[in-house]
């Protein structure tokens, strides 16, 4: 981890010994982290004493996010609560941590720095909506101004008609060889769809894309499932059905934990488990797979894989980016049902998660990450003032 800039703040004209003691405490509490004291764009404020509130104000007025560390001695925490209240009143996003009582101090600081870095990267994103949001996604149509105000993501709407037909593109043999295709299914059209989408990405200088794919399936009996799988496998966030809520979560996960999640339908909820399925998934998330047809239309190509991980994190935002569902679970089975999308998992979740998905669903599509990332996702939401339900 890089060196962390910390501004140690005390009452006016405090003696040098106060600051030396503060640095010593930091090294004792956080021996694994590297610090340097800095007044220029600090990432963390360490409140050393009472009477430091105005000095802290002069710093936080120039910050958008701030992590405030405080302790029990010398009225440090008392002063920090005043500073935190000032931040709240002035829309400065702040998190206050008592280093004398927090057991996971190092981890929270890592989450903070990681979240800040992710936020910085996300705000440079240019997201393409190819086609329209699918008509059935009546709870997932994030407005462009919401994306801009919450994450500074630029939304670009692109008409299918503004580009050539997929059939006019060359066959992509490199794309074809990416897929394990032991049954010898013809992937030429799928490779042309990939070339079309890649062309649109490059032409519009996109950092992520969501595709309204059903019109192409209905008109030409070809799908984008494999193209989206390949893009996600290459860590390029690419979603289907024009779902802007899902692709936003995919972007955040990619920048926060380094993995593009699987976007899946919430097919059913049982007493202790949920059943999830979809026709596209990054091949690096499955242990093995075969090429199948798209479930709803029985045409084109799709990925029918065996999900590799046994522990997962499942999450989703609402269309206003004000709420999030985040849960962790255990994959109890990896079915092969004929009445659902091609890649399928059944996941055991805690009772409270089951209840939330039953009573307060934020929508259909949920995002699946292999591993346990609940804590860092919750911290990110706290920093972005998104309520975890």
Q: What is the DSSP string of 205-271?
A: T-SEEEE--HHHHHHHS--SHHHHHHHHHTT--EEETT-HHHHHHHHHHHHHHS-PPEEEEEEEE-S
Q: Helix, strand, or coil here: 384?
A: coil
Mean pLDDT, the chain, whole residue set: 92
Q: Are 151 and 244 in contact (CB under 8 A)?
A: no
* Cα within 13 Å of Cα(232), Cβ side: 30
Cβ-based neighbours of 47, under 8 Å, separated by 6 or more: 9, 56, 68, 69, 70, 71, 76, 77, 79, 80, 83
Residue 312 has pLDDT above 80, yes or no: yes
Query: 181 falls in which pLDDT band (50, 70, 90)?
Result: confident
Residue 293 has pLDDT above 90, yes or no: no
Query: 297 falls in which pLDDT band (50, 70, 90)?
Result: confident
pLDDT at 1: 59
pLDDT digits (tens, 9 = 90+) for 213-236: 888 877 777 899 999 999 999 999
Q: In this predicted model, which residue has the larger pLDDT, 69 or 181?
A: 69
Taking residues 320-335, what's their average pLDDT? 95
Start-end ranges of CATH 3.40.50 in the chain?
4-102
pLDDT digits (tens, 9 = 90+) for 134-179: 999 999 999 999 999 999 999 999 998 888 899 999 999 999 999 9
Q: Which overall architecture, per CATH, does domain 4-102 show?
A: 3-Layer(aba) Sandwich (3.40)
pLDDT at 294: 73
Query: 2 falls in which pLDDT band (50, 70, 90)?
Result: confident
pLDDT digits (tens, 9 = 90+) for 22-65: 999 998 988 888 888 878 889 999 999 999 999 999 999 999 99
């Amino acid at each position: 981890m890089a060196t962390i800039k910390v501004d140690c703040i005390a009452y006016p004209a405090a003696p040098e010994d106060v600051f030396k003691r503060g640095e010593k405490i930091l090294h004792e509490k956080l021996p694994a982290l590297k610090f340097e004291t800095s007044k220029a764009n600090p990432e963390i404020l360490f409140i050393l004493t009472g009477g430091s509130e105005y000095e802290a104000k002069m710093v936080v007025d120039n910050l958008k996010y701030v992590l405030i560390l405080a302790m029990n001695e010398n009225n440090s925490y008392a002063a920090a609560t005043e500073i935190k209240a000032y931040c709240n009143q002035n829309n400065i996003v702040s998190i206050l941590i008592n280093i004398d009582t927090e057991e996971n101090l190092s981890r929270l600081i890592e989450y903070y720095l990681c979240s800040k870095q992710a936020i910085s990267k996300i705000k440079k994103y240019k997201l393409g909506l190819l086609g329209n949001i699918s008509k059935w996604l009546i709870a997932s149509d994030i407005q462009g101004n919401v994306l801009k105000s919450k994450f500074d993501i630029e939304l670009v709407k692109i008409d299918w008609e503004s580009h050539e037909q997929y059939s006019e593109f060359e066959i992509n043999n490199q794309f074809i060889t990416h897929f394990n295709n032991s049954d010898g299914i013809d992937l030429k059209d799928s490779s042309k769809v990939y070339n079309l989408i890649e062309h649109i990405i490059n032409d519009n200088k996109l950092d992520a894309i969501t595709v309204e794919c059903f019109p192409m399936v209905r008109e030409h009996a070809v799908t984008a499932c494999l193209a989206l799988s390949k893009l996600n496998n290459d860590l390029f966030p690419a979603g289907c059905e024009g779902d802007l809520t899902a692709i936003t979560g995919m972007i955040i996960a990619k920048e926060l934990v380094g993995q593009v999640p699987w976007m899946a339908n919430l097919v059913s909820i049982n007493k202790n488990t949920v059943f999830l399925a979809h026709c596209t998934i990054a091949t690096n998330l499955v242990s093995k797979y075969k090429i199948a047809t798209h479930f709803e239309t029985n045409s084109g190509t799709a990925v029918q894989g065996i999900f590799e991980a046994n522990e997962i994190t499942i999450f989703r935002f609402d269309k206003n980016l004000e709420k999030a569902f985040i849960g962790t679970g255990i994959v109890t089975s990896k079915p092969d049902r004929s009445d659902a999308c091609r890649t399928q998992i059944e996941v055991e979740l805690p009772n409270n998660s089951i209840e939330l998905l039953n009573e307060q669903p934020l929508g259909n599509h949920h995002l699946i990450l292999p591993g346990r990332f609940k804590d860092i996702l919750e911290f990110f939401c706290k920093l972005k003032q998104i309520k975890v339900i």
